[in-house]
Amino acid sequence: MAPIDPHSFTDSTHPLATHISLSLFFDFSSSTIHASALLTLPAPHSGPISLDARGLTVHSVLDPQSSAPLPFSLSSPDPIKGCHLTVTLANHSSVLVLYTTAPNSSALQWLSPPQTFNKTLPFVYTQCQAIHARSVFPCQDTPAARVCYSARLNVPRQLSAVMSARHVDRRDPIAGEGSALACGDGAWCAEGRTVEEFVMEQPIPPYLFAFAVGELGFREVGPRTRVYSEAVPAVLELAAKEFASAEDMIRQGEALFGPYEWERFDLLVLPPSFPYGGMENPRMTFLTPTVLKGDSSGAQVVAHELAHSWTGNLITNKTNEHFWLNEGFTTYAERRIVEAVQGEDRAALNIGIGWRGLNKEMERFKDNMEFTKLKTNQEGVDPDDVYSEVPYEKGFQFLWRIERQVGRPAFDEFTKKYIATFKFKSIDTETFLEFLKANLLGIEKEIDLILWTEGTGIPPDAYEPVSSIYTKIILMANEFKLGRMPREDEVADWGGMEWELYLENLPKSIEASQILDLNARYSLSESKDYEVKVAFLLLAIGSKCKDHYAEVEKTLKAVGRKKYLVPLYTALVEGTGKEEEKILAKRVFAEARETYHPIAQGVVETILSKHI
């Protein structure tokens, strides 16, 4: 056994599958998928092959040519990696696995009709990053592996499907297609069912596999962009407006990083329980509805997910230990796109908010400094539990440091060459550093590359941004300590980002009365911008301003984005003398749990179990 990734059973001595063909029958009544997965290897193989599986009931494993059963075993689950599925091959170059997913499959959120906007039809969607693809189909679930795929989704006819792939057909089921599946051909071909077909011809790491099935509608927003969401005209209109700059951003991305290789850049706005701000599924970025603020600030999240089209989806981290290569590079690329489309001030505010976030993470990880490094050791660690801003913001700072050293033109040339050299490959930190040294000669004498990638904390040559608006806001936040409330004329043109930066820079220990004063003036607890609202509510919890606890509860029940759940629940339960807050957290979680995606459920559970 020679593992290549601490989060996968994939064995380096086994061939990596190059194609997966899926048949998926969606059974909304049991929240399960009856499925088959046909894995193709690059050459015939004899002996065992290791696959990842989580919560899958494997009915049989067959030689697809002869339909003869192949010997297999499924280990008991490891708490992080899930089950090790071993199939023994005898000169086979493909394997067919027949299986059913678990109702609590960690990638899937099944929404019953009352949980949707229109309340009449169900909805289901995936979130496979970091290591959840294995809960939808058996695979070598490591970003070191890349596969093309095709998929056939059998769904109720009132619903439609989207995927991180090209849509090729919507058609009637064909007799025989479902006969090997656990649902049987009768259910596959039943009245009222339809089949949606997709292909992904470019090799992708399994974490980029994605689908959503529901009552979907769409609007055109650009020559290669549509925005999809549940078919609610108001949501679609708002989304189409918010993302009107998509084509502009793609062009900026192409100018900076080379051709856009994925043909389409469609967007899907998910229900409020979507656990992330955005997810860069190729051809179809998934987005939280909390980015629809009506002021184009959601464009920043779109810029980020778009930037992954180059950094992350073309060049992928080999394992999660090198996650900074995905997110740090993407944060840098996102800010370059924002700067080009929205101007330098916006980009500087963004960097300032990031800088503040990075410093906060140093506090969070002060007893676990490993996770303040760029390259981390994740043996025995669940990537969902150590998800933080460090790979984003320290990674950004590292690349920004290199840009300052060599100048923008040289760094831009380097970045383009880096992408062209490693596209459709998965690489590690060492490969990046070798390429850096070979292409920016002498860089290692100017910047301590080892300190940056392997050291803990924030290196001394990191940089707080300077811009007049950024500096002014920090100054005003410092003055609040002395009792100075911002004047209306000073904040008249503030948007969400300005408020967010201001609130996040206020001291933690302000009096409850000051919190009430601030809110009486600026109604921050009712802000439609969740970044502002949550930043304010965190201050309220910090100073035990109980008047706002009802709003905290409402927020925790309205959205399932981890970025809000994690700090809010943590603020409620961390520290001493918090009995009332702990009771509140426990009760709210018990009541809201079912509305969260399984990944968010898991993370909140970890927080509560640590402190209660």
Q: Which does 84 bind (CB under 5 to 8 A by kind): ligand BES, Zn ion, none?
A: none
Interface pick for ligand BES out of 301, 399, 473, 535 (rule CB under 6 A) = 301
Q: Which does 563 bind (CB under 5 to 8 A by kind): ligand BES, Zn ion, none?
A: ligand BES
Residue 208 C-beta: closest distance to Zn ion, Å: 12
* d(C-alpha 130, C-alpha 204), whole Å: 14
Report the amino acid identity of residue 607. I
How far from each other are the two terminal CA atoms of the chain, in whole angstroms?
Answer: 39
Ligand-binding site membership of 220 (annotated): no
147-156/83-100 β-pairing:
unpaired
Going from the C-alpha of 22 to that of each of 19, 149, 177, the distances in angstroms are 10, 8, 12
Q: Which does 279 bind (CB under 5 to 8 A by kind): ligand BES, Zn ion, none?
A: ligand BES
Ligand-binding site membership of 318 (annotated): no
Asked if 26 is part of the footprint of ligand BES (rule: CB under 6 A), the reply reads no
Taken as a whole, the chain contains a residue count of 612
Contacts of 344 (CB under 8 A, 6+ apart): 467
Asked if 387 is part of the footprint of ligand BES (rule: CB under 6 A), the reply reads yes
Nearer residue to ligand BES within complex by CB, 396 or 452? 396
Ligand-binding site membership of 308 (annotated): yes
Q: Find where tokens 């984005």 sit.
A: 561
CA dihedral 152, 156, 162, 168 (to 10 degrees): 50
Ligand-binding site membership of 562 (annotated): yes
Ligand-binding site membership of 564 (annotated): no
Residue 550 C-beta: closest distance to Zn ion, Å: 33
Cis peptide before 600 (omega within 30 of 0): no
Nearer residue to Zn ion within complex by CB, 266 or 327? 327
Looking at 117-125, 186-194, 277-285, 476-484, which segment touches ligand BES (CB under 6 A)? 277-285
Residue 435 C-beta: closest distance to ligand BES, Å: 23
# of chain residues touching Zn ion (CB under 5 A): 2
Residue 490 C-beta: closest distance to ligand BES, Å: 27
Q: Which does 378 bind (CB under 5 to 8 A by kind): Zn ion, ligand BES, none?
A: none
Looking at 83-91, 246-254, 255-263, 325-333, which segment touches Zn ion (CB under 5 A)? 325-333
Interface pick for ligand BES out of 74, 189, 268, 279 (rule CB under 6 A) = 279
Residue 277 C-beta: closest distance to ligand BES, Å: 3
Looking at 26-34, 211-219, 303-311, 500-508, which segment touches ligand BES (CB under 6 A)? 303-311
Interface pick for ligand BES out of 304, 318, 356, 548 (rule CB under 6 A) = 304
Ligand-binding site membership of 132 (annotated): no
Ligand-binding site membership of 322 (annotated): no
Residues 326-365 that bind Zn ion (CB under 5 A): 327, 330
Q: Dihedral of CA 284/285/290/293: which sign?
A: negative
Residues 351-370 that bind ligand BES (CB under 6 A): none
Looking at 62-70, 91-99, 237-245, 299-307, which segment touches ligand BES (CB under 6 A)? 299-307
Asked if 130 is part of the footprint of ligand BES (rule: CB under 6 A), the reply reads yes
Asked if 276 is part of the footprint of ligand BES (rule: CB under 6 A), the reply reads yes
* d(C-alpha 432, C-alpha 353), whole Å: 27
Active site residues: 305, 392
Answer for the pair 161, 110: CB distance below 8 angstroms, yes or no. Answer: no
Q: Find where tokens 């599946």 sit.
A: 181
Choose among 302, 301, 322: nearest CA to 312. Answer: 322
| DSSP output for 213-238 | EESEEEEEEETTEEEEEES-HHHHHH
Looking at 76-84, 209-217, 264-272, 273-281, which segment touches ligand BES (CB under 6 A)? 273-281
Show the site string, 531-570: x = touches ligand BES by CB under 6 A, - = not.
--------------------------------x-------
Give me 395's structure tokens. 């990674």
Residue 478 C-beta: closest distance to Zn ion, Å: 31
Question: Which letter does DSSP use for residue 4 in this model?
Answer: S
Answer for the pair 455, 336: CB distance below 8 angstroms, yes or no. Answer: no
Nearer residue to Zn ion within complex by CB, 305 or 498? 305
Ligand-binding site membership of 277 (annotated): yes
Chain centre distance of CA 49: 29
Nearer residue to ligand BES within complex by CB, 34 or 561? 561
Ligand-binding site membership of 387 (annotated): no
Residue 141 C-beta: closest distance to Zn ion, Å: 19
Other CB atoms within a 10 A radius of the CB of residue 314 amount to 21
Ligand-binding site membership of 586 (annotated): no
Helix (H, G, I), strand (E, B) or coil at 326: helix
Residue 99 host element (H or E)? strand 83-100
Going from the C-alpha of 391 to that of each of 167, 394, 425, 437, 582, the distances in angstroms are 33, 6, 20, 21, 30
Burial class (CB in 10 A: 0-12, 13-18, 19+), 141: buried
# of chain residues touching ligand BES (CB under 6 A): 15
| DSSP output for 543-561 | TT-GGGHHHHHHHHHH---
Answer for the pair 608, 586: CB distance below 8 angstroms, yes or no. Answer: yes
Answer for the pair 372, 434: CB distance below 8 angstroms, yes or no. Answer: no
Choose among 323, 326, 355, 341: nearest CA to 256. Answer: 341
Ligand-binding site membership of 280 (annotated): yes
Sequence ranges of the binding site for Zn(2+): 304, 308, 327
> Where along the sequence are the contacts to ligand BES (CB under 6 A)?
129-130, 276-280, 300-301, 304-305, 308, 327, 387, 563
Sequence ranges of the binding site for a peptide: 127-129, 275-280, 561-563
> Where along the sequence are the contacts to Zn ion (CB under 5 A)?
327, 330
Sequence ranges of the binding site: 127-129, 275-280, 304, 308, 327, 561-563
